[in-house]
Structures are given as structure tokens and as C-alpha cells.
Structure 1
Amino acid sequence: MSKPHQAPLTVAGMVDGARAMLPLMPGIAAFGMAFGAASVQKGFSLVEAGLSSALVFAGLAQMVALEGWTRHWSAGTLLALGFLTMTVNMRHVLMGASLRPWLGTLPAWKAYPALLFMADNNWAAALRYHGEGGNDVGYFVGSGLITWIFWVAATLAGHLIGGGIPDPKALGIDLVVPAFFVAMLLPNWKGRREAVGWGVAAAVSVAASFLLPGWWFIVIGALAGAIAGGFTDDGR
């Protein structure tokens, strides 16, 4: 069996991906500033807040981690925080798997660094781009890189402002990223298969959020939707 043709990764593709993300950046910046301001209340230094956003690069997980942050750590609290972060970000396993047919054609030294820039918004945009026939991995990298830059810069700005931003939840800022993610996801609608998978994921996650403490509803909803979608034909 012949090996699949390697997808290109070009600067032009990166520029196109970054340009496609520009309309979403004000929302990303608002959320990043909210995290930066909230991190001040937990005693983060400017460097610590910046490194959190640069290395973790996961807004929801970072906000969740802040809620459980403490000044006095034990092995148990560290393990709990690590497990909580892993649970919230477990969806990235499925997101990464969905990119395998595309990024899997690249050598490992290109594919895995590219995945460092995977976020909800650029993943959804890149899937839509690839579904429409695009094949330049630069689109995925560029859209993720500009998101990363805005996220880190906004975190630093929010930290410098300090307590100038009130409770993010009181302003609904914590809903900015999910709202943009939904806006990016809808163009990927292709018919009944998506209706079943998305519907099951939504219903199960909402039910789980009432029945189980913490953030298990994210993982449970994602797995339920994936399983339901896998058992649903295309309806063609």
C-alpha cells in the first residue's frame, strides 16, 4: 500500500489561517484578560500568569484550575488539580484524533509541534477548511499561533490591570469562548449524523452536570456524542 501524500505546510497557509481567526480575537482577548485579572487574586506573578497561558494554553482548564488554586500544597491537592485539568482537557484526545487523517501525513517532527497550537476555535476552523478541500497544514498552525499570541498577550494585560476586571462570570466573559466555538462549529453541519452526535453530546453533558460534581460532564458528553455519531450512518 502506498503512503498517503504528505500535506503541505506553507507560510501562505499560515497567513490565511491567521487572517481567518482575526474576527474571533476580541473575544479571545477578553477571556484572556479575565484570566489574567483573576490570577492576581490567586497570587500569581506576571511571569507565572504568562507562563500558565503560554504553556497550558487552555482557557477553560486554566479558569477551572484557578478555582481550586491554593497557597498551601500537598501531594493530594497537586494530584487533584492535575486530574481536574486532565479531565477538562480530555476532549483534546478526540480533537487530535479527528486531525489524524490530515496531520498524520506529516513527519512526527512537524505534526506534534503543530498540535501544540490546537485550541477549540482553530480546530473547528481547520476542520471546516479541510472539509472544504483545503490541505495546507499551515492554515491550522497559523490560526493556532495567532490565537496563542493573543491569549498570552491578553493574559499579561489583564494581570497588569489587576483587579480592574470584575468577576468574569458576573460579566458572562466565561461564555465568550464557548459562544465563539459554537459559531465556528455550525458551518461544519453536514446532516443527520451531526444532529444525532451533537444532540446526544449536549443532552448527556447537561444531565451529567446535574448528577455528578466537578467537570466530568465534559468528558462524558464528548464520549457519548462520539459513540452515538459512530453508530449513525451518513443518511445518504
Structure 2
Amino acid sequence: MLLINESHILDVEQGYIHSQGSNVRHPIGINEIALLNYMIERTGETLTKHELMHEVWLKRGIVVESSSLLHCISNCRRALEDRAGEIIRTVRGTGYEFVGRVDAYQPANEVEQVEAVIPEVVEIPVPQEPKETLRSRLVKYRSQLIATGLFVFGAVASYSIIENSSSPLAYASFEQQEFASCWFTPENNGAKVHYQNSTLYDFGELTLLVDGQGRSLSFSSNSGVISCE
């Protein structure tokens, strides 16, 4: 998790931004996650509209108009409650710049658990592995999130193409199953993505997952990347 401007918690695994001030949780989609990840990695840099559209859509083979970028930026600002452009700044005639402060965030309950373990470690000395620096953990965490976000985004795009085409798959029969919880594990061992109240549509070689928040994912039925219960 990341803390933006000491007021908003970004959880890309669960797909939401939580405002500590208003205590409101704003759900965000794959496009918004990919956009924020890219801009946060380049904090303070002016990014052109073409560069952002290429990163979020074009590099995955999806052709969109500039209105899609405007809508995505608007969703991010709404979730960050950034009405004055203090986090995502508009650079007139060029593009956008991320100017917010970003820190690693750990929930309070996890901090308490760590503190409770410290006395036991002191009483019984146990060799410990060197801890990763905050910078190395952030770089590793962000790279995993970007890989996961782009992979899932590609899957969503492929499903959109199938839904709007006239291929035989659009008219094929399918089996439907519902689960309370599903986990997506990328083939590159990236971070897992959790889907709640999920429905699986099995078309044979292809399976489509749609969760309670409206997020969707398509994958090969024999890939083993999804586990549900």
C-alpha cells in the first residue's frame, strides 16, 4: 500500500483509494491503477498525453481517443479528492505531472503485530536475514504491481474484443459458477489480485471472471492462474 499526501491510501491489489479525511473508499479500475503507477514512478516529471495513452492503452494494442485519458485522469482526481490539482497537475498544452508526496503505508494492526513480536526476538536470539531497504521494497513492489496491472488489463481488453466481435465464441454455450472469493496469480509470480463475489463463465478453452465490483478478467481455462472458494 502507498500513502499519498499523508491523506489517501492507495491499494492497487484490492483496487481502491481510501480517504482518511472523509473515510470514503473509492474503487478504481485497471486503467486508473496503470496510470497512477506510471505517474508515481515519474513524480515531478511532465508527461505528455501521448506518452500516457501509449503506456495505459496503446502498448497493449488498444486504440483510444484523448477523451479516454481525460476520463481516467478525472476518475483518479475524484478518488484522490484532488479538486485543486495539488496531486495531479495539468500542464497546459502538454500533459500532466504527478506532484503529490508518496510514502509506503502499513496498517496500524500490522504495526502492532510487529511490535508484539520484538520481545520474543530479544529473549531468544535468532539469526535474521538482512532487511531490505525501503527504496528496494518500493521498487520491487511497484514493478510487481505494474506487471500485474498490465497483464490483467490485457485480459480485460481481450474480453472486450470478444464481446464486440461476431466470432463463433460470442455465440458459444458456457457454464456459469459463482464463488465468494477468487485469487488471480500472474504466471510471472507477481502480486496476487483478489476478486470477491465472483462469477466464472466457462466457454471451454476460455474462461471469463466478473466480480462484485464489475471488474473482469479472461484467461485460458487450463492456465491455473485462478483459484476460487
TM-score of the pair, normalised by structure 1? 0.25
Determine which structure has greater relative contact order: mean sequence separation of CA pairs < 8 Å that are 6+ residues apart, divided by chain length. 1
Higher share in strand: 2
Instruction: Select the structure of larger CA radius of gyration.
Output: 2
Higher share in helix: 1
